[in-house]
Amino acid sequence: DVQLVDSGGGLVQPGGSLRLSCAASGFSFSVYAMSWVRQAPGKGLEWVSAMSGSGTDTYYADSVKGRFTISRDNSNNMLYLQMSSLRAEDTAIYYCARAEYQLLSCFDYWGQGTLVTVSS
């Protein structure tokens, strides 16, 4: 079965950094593009970043461009999101999600989410 397990969230001060991880299993990880999607408390969904299966292509939302970096380790079936210069408005549950069929697509599998809280 396809499984995505998100981890790495926590409390961080404004201006701080955090790295999120997503462990994938049950499918050929390197074949699939992956994304990060976030959800602020009580709010809707916001796409954050996407990476192709090979890792050669990446996209970012304007709200995180220059502050967040997506990466992946296909040998270990891991997806990462390095977040820096964090702001209060980055507080959210962060989900990794598998692209259904291409880099920028809908998402057929999601992790359980990891909560990032940016506060002093």
Partner 1 sequence: EIQMTQSPSTLSASLGDRVTITCRASQSINNYLAWYQQKPGKAPKLLIYKASNLENAVPSRFSGSGSGTEFTLTISSLQPDDFATYYCQQYNSFSPPLTFGGGTKVEIK
Tell me if 45 contacts partner 1 by CB under 8 A: yes
Helix (H/G/I), strand (E/B), else coil: 2: coil
Judged by beta carbon, residue 44 or residue 66, the one nearer partner 1 is 44
Give me the least distance between CB of 120 and partner 1, in Å please: 27
The phi and psi torsions of 31 (rounded to 5 degrees) equal -80, -25
Give me the least distance between CB of 38 and partner 1, in Å please: 11
Tell me if 105 contacts partner 1 by CB under 8 A: yes
Do 23 and 4 form a contact (C-beta atoms < 8 A)?
Answer: yes
Do 118 and 86 form a contact (C-beta atoms < 8 A)?
Answer: yes
Position among 2, 5, 89, 108 found at the interface with partner 1 (CB under 8 A): 108
Report the number of secondary-structure helices (H) and strands (E) in the chain: 0, 11
Tell me if 106 contacts partner 1 by CB under 8 A: yes
Question: DSSP labels for 26-59?
Answer: SS-GGGS-EEEEEE-TTS-EEEEEEE-SSS--EE
**Interface map 57-96 toward partner 1 (x if CB under 8 A):** --xxxx--------------------------------x-
Judged by beta carbon, residue 19 or residue 65, the one nearer partner 1 is 65
The span from the CA of 39 to the CA of 101, in Å, is 23
Q: Which residues sit at the interface with partner 1, rule CB under 8 A?
A: 35, 44-47, 50, 59-62, 95, 100, 102-108, 110-113
